Amino acid sequence: MLKYALTRLLAAIPTLFVIVTAAFFLIRIAPGGPFNLDRPLEAKVMENLNRIYHLDAPLWQQYLSYLGNLLRGDFGPSFVYRDFSVAELFAAGLPISVQLGGSALVLALLAGTALGTLAALHHNKAADLGAVTVATLGITIPPFVVAPLLSLVFGVWLGWLPAGGWGNGALVNKILPIVTLALPQVAVVTRLTRAAMIEALASHPVRTARAYGLRWWTVVVVHALRSAILPVVSYAGPAAAALMTGSIVVETIFGVPGVGRYFVQAALNRDYTLVMGTVVVIACFVILFNLVVDLIYALIDPRVRYG
């Protein structure tokens, strides 16, 4: 298993390399630069800035030196957030995003599998219809509608929770962002669980288990849910990566100091190093969580073995 994990991580290096290369050249092709402000800088100042940040070197040289720095774990300084290195920005924001995203994922997995199982057990009855409606709503209402609505209902009308703001990470400030992040995922997990569970409940192993007279709980949770959870696990990998790298919508509306907003801002500001940093971090999360998913798969499904 360890050998398998290591092989997978090694195999990810070429993928990462291609992504870094593509992103590096794409952002450089885009017109404008980090120092092109509304009021143009003096030519001499511009020249100095470009020299300090090595932007005057040929592109391939910049690319090679960036790759070299990356190998040493150096993401470089941010061009727009002066006095901050990209690593410092991530050190400050990433834990917050990971925490919010992780909580949202756990919430989504728990609520989603529970709702999905409930719907499958009461297939074509009222509970099923309710769960499916919730799931469809969760998928169709975009987060940038859900977030202000939640903030309006719970923050302004009911006054139970703060409508926005971070409050230095107090728990009450985290509830609405986590719920907003979790809702669409709850919807997807419910749908996946429901479909797989309906199939699993009708399958031969479950029928056999029932015939043995096992308790209802054992049949549903140990036998049916175990196979029904597989599609959820493979969905959870990419979802975890997406959730934990932050969401610009949630961060903007609730004022959360995570890393999701850096992505959009950096690309718009041509903050080259920060853009590259976000691309690398997101790619690493995707690769890592895909690996984790495959390992969990092997734990749940006895048919899957990694030599």
Partner 1 sequence: MSLSRLSGTAARRPVAGRSLTADAMRRLKANRAAMASLVFLIAMALVCAVGPHLTGHAYDEVYQSYVRVPASLTPYPREAQVGPEMEKALARARVDLGTVAVVNGTASVEVVSPRRPLDPRITRYVDRSDLFANARLTDMSPDGHVGRIVADVRQVRFLFGTDLAGRDLLTRTLMAGRISLTIGLLATLVAVLIGVTWGATAGYLGGAADAVMMRVVDVLYALPFVFFVILLVVFFGRNFVLVFLAVGAVEWLDMARIVRGQTLSLKRREFVEAAEAMGVAGGGILRRHIVPNLAGPVVVYMTLLVPKVILLESFLSFLGLGVQEPMTSWGVLIAEGARSIEAMPGLLLFPAAFLTSTLFALNFLGDGLRDALDPKER
The residues binding partner 1 (CB under 8 A) are 15, 18-19, 22-23, 26-27, 30-32, 136-137, 139-142, 144-145, 147-149, 151-152, 156, 163, 248-249, 253, 263-264, 267-268, 275, 278-279, 282-283
Tokens of 220: 């549903």
Instruction: Pick between residue 176 and residue 209 the one whose CB is nearest to partner 1.
Output: 176
Write the CB contacts of 147 (distance below 8 Å, at least 6 apart in sequence): 176, 177, 180, 249, 250, 253, 254
Contact 246, 93 (CB under 8 A): yes
Instruction: Pick between residue 30 and residue 110 the one whose CB is nearest to partner 1.
Output: 30
Is the alpha carbon torsion for 154, 250, 239, 93 positive or negative? negative
We find the least distance from the C-beta atom of residue 266 to partner 1, in angstroms, to be 9
**CA atoms within 13 A of residue 204's CA, in its CB half-sphere:** 0
196: closest CA among 219, 218, 226, 237?
Answer: 226
Instruction: Pick between residue 26 and residue 110 the one whose CB is nearest to partner 1.
Output: 26
Contact 146, 180 (CB under 8 A): yes
We find the least distance from the C-beta atom of residue 143 to partner 1, in angstroms, to be 9
We find the least distance from the C-beta atom of residue 268 to partner 1, in angstroms, to be 7
Which position has the token pair 């986590």? 178
We find the least distance from the C-beta atom of residue 222 to partner 1, in angstroms, to be 31
Instruction: Pick between residue 115 and residue 279 the one whose CB is nearest to partner 1.
Output: 279
We find the least distance from the C-beta atom of residue 297 to partner 1, in angstroms, to be 21
Task: Tell me the C-alpha distance between 160 and 172, whole Å.
Answer: 9
Instruction: Pick between residue 92 and residue 129 the one whose CB is nearest to partner 1.
Output: 129
Contact 8, 302 (CB under 8 A): no
Contact 117, 193 (CB under 8 A): yes
We find the least distance from the C-beta atom of residue 158 to partner 1, in angstroms, to be 13
Write the CB contacts of 284 (distance below 8 Å, at least 6 apart in sequence): 16
Instruction: Pick between residue 8 and residue 210 the one whose CB is nearest to partner 1.
Output: 8
We find the least distance from the C-beta atom of residue 301 to partner 1, in angstroms, to be 25
Task: Tell me the C-alpha distance between 293 and 284, whole Å.
Answer: 14
Instruction: Pick between residue 220 and residue 279 the one whose CB is nearest to partner 1.
Output: 279
